[in-house]
Amino acid sequence: MYTLKVEGAFEAAHRVVNYPGKCDRLHGHNWLVEAEVRGTELDELGMLVDFKLVKQALKSVLDRFDHRFLNELEPFSSGLNPTAENLARIIFEELEPHEAFVRDSHLYAITVYETPKSSVTYTKE
């Protein structure tokens, strides 16, 4: 089994509604997102998936969050709190069907870093 990881980033503000502390106030983060791809079959060049394609796919998903107030974007504008946990799942669901994943490769995990020392990982399992 091979595991490939790429990182992407965006800057955005959010508010965790009804949080019993200062995170209930508007604040921002420099979000770091790591996509983990797994598979066993390499192509004729010896690659699982081209890093460039996965980076482009991740960027295309993250662009909609960049320099935005997350609470104003769907599905957060419908009442879902824009926590790192919910963000990780949403990014996973938007990235998973991307055509960058070929042969037996698949998106395994998304890790969202809210700060350099605080992260959450979402997998389907």
Query: For the chain, which residues make up each domain, given as ranges?
Result: 2-123
> What local confidence, expressed as pLDDT, does residue 107 receive?
97
Tell me which CATH code domain 2-123 carries.
3.30.479.10
| Residue 94 parent element (H or E) | helix 84-95
Q: Taking the model in full, what pTM does it have?
A: 0.95
Distance, in Å, from the CA atom of 97 to the CA atom of 106, rounded to the nearest integer, reads 9
Indicate the pLDDT class of residue 60, thresholds 50, 70 and 90: very high
Residue entry with tokens 């709190």: 81
Other beta carbons within 10 angstroms of residue 61's beta carbon come to 21
Q: What is the mean pLDDT of residues 36-46?
A: 96
